[in-house]
Structure 1
Amino acid sequence: MNFVSIDFETANEKRFSPCAIGVVVANEHEVLDEFYSLINPLMGFTSFNTYIHGITEEDVADAPTFPQIWPTLHKYLSENTVVAHNASFDMSVLRQTLDYFNLTYPDMDYLCTANISKRVWPDLINHKLNTLAAHHGIAFEHHHALEDARVAAKILMKAFSTYQADSMDIFLGKCNMTKGRIYEHGYVPPRAKKTAKRKLYF
């Protein structure tokens, strides 16, 4: 059951300012392929964003623009299940950037590894990417797009193993969750179904 993990870094507060993208193709056992690129957002950087990820305007001066790398990204994303940690951010970056450059949306399902981890490991102090990485003994450079995408992929692998699931449908059934979906100028977010509370009898 292959899936694709992604992570964006942005140049500023605008969601249509991606300056780096990391893509990891994996299955329940191993990483199969990786892609990383800086992106020239064709707009300025804020000091706050550069402080977070360390990327500057000089770093991306000769980098491809989003429309230039979109054909490659589209091949990775289209008709696949895509995951991201705090997926609402990354999917918003994807959709707003496609809108900004008037590019065609991919048809793809998506999931959030932050929400999945809340179901699988509910007792952790929080479900941030670095907390989950530390819990599972995964060393990485936080806020590097490829490393973050790789950790999200490994977290999903750990979740598959914890729930002993050998298919995405079985895994989501055990999580009591549904996939989200992105399609041409629209999306449906993934849903976590409410679990029944135990009744106490005295």
Structure 2
Amino acid sequence: MDFVALDFETATHEKNSACELGVCIVENGQIKETKSWLIKPPSFPYFNHHNVAVHGIMPEDVQHSPTFGDVWYEVENMMYGNLMIAHNASFDVSVLRGCLDHYGFFKPNLNYLCSIGVAKKAWKDLKSYGLKSLAEQHQIKFNHHRADADAEVCARISLLGFERLMITRTDEIKDIFGKRIKIL
């Protein structure tokens, strides 16, 4: 089973304002690598105080960081040919689209799945399917709202959900979640 879990943190409400990107690569059902980049958003030096209150990333933290345009080729290579999974994927996909549009990149033909849907299928009737709640449910400790930690927990929750659903191969994910798998 191979997939890539992805998470963004943003500087403002603008969809192109990624200030951190986290990617967790899963190969053969095992976490291979988790990586993150602090990103200087187009709004720099402006960061909305509400966003900072969520993730704690300040303008000075990214002042010497690359832009999304600078890191996209490396990220794209990691994602090439893989299913992308994100927790609350509609948000992360909208940020990815916003960044790709802002920097004039073509959108890759990328399939993605929301890990909330995986969790809802694997564990029925939980009070909450938020990332923090699911992590607590499975005794996973992490630094919430940092992109690398969120991406890795998304991957771990997805792997646990797939195990509970007895899914062992990537093609089985597509068979079972077919209509829930979207294209970027």
Give the shorter-chain TM-score range.
over 0.9
CA deviation after TM superposition for structure 1 residue 172, in Å: 4.7
Distance 1:27 1:177, change over 3 A: farther
* Equivalent residue pairs, number: 182
SS of residue in 1 equivalent to 2:61: coil
The answer for the alignment partner of 2:30 in structure 1 is 30
The answer for the alignment partner of 1:16 in structure 2 is 16
The 1-side partners of 2:5 and 2:57 are apart by 21
The 2-side partners of 1:114 and 1:140 are apart by 18
The answer for the alignment partner of 1:162 in structure 2 is 164
The 1-side partners of 2:93 and 2:10 are apart by 13
Q: Give the aligned residue type for 1:25.
A: I
**Paired residue for 1:66, among 65, 68, 86?**
68
Cα deviation digits, residues 59-92 of structure 1 (max 9, x gap):
0000001111111111112321000000000000
The 2-side partners of 1:41 and 1:164 are apart by 41
Cα deviation digits, residues 117-154 of structure 1 (max 9, x gap):
11111211010001100111100111010000000000
Structure number, greater radius of gyration: 1
**Paired residue for 1:54, among 41, 53, 56?**
56
CA contact (8 A) 1:22 1:36 kept: yes
Which range is displaced more, 140-149 or 97-106? 97-106
CA contact (8 A) 1:78 1:107 kept: no
Equivalent positions of 1:113-192 (< 5 A) are: 113-174=115-176, 177-182=179-184
Runs of 4+ off more than 4 Å: 174-177
Cα deviation digits, residues 21-45 of structure 1 (max 9, x gap):
0000014632112221100003110
The answer for the alignment partner of 2:42 in structure 1 is 42
Fraction of identical pairs, as percent? 36
The 1-side partners of 2:158 and 2:119 are apart by 8
The 1-side partners of 2:180 and 2:87 are apart by 16
The answer for the alignment partner of 2:81 in structure 1 is 79
CA deviation after TM superposition for structure 1 residue 56, in Å: 0.6
Distance 1:177 1:132, change over 3 A: farther
Q: Give the aligned residue type for 2:29.
A: H
Q: Give the aligned residue type for 2:85.
A: V
Q: Give the aligned residue type for 1:108.
A: L
CA deviation after TM superposition for structure 1 residue 174, in Å: 4.2
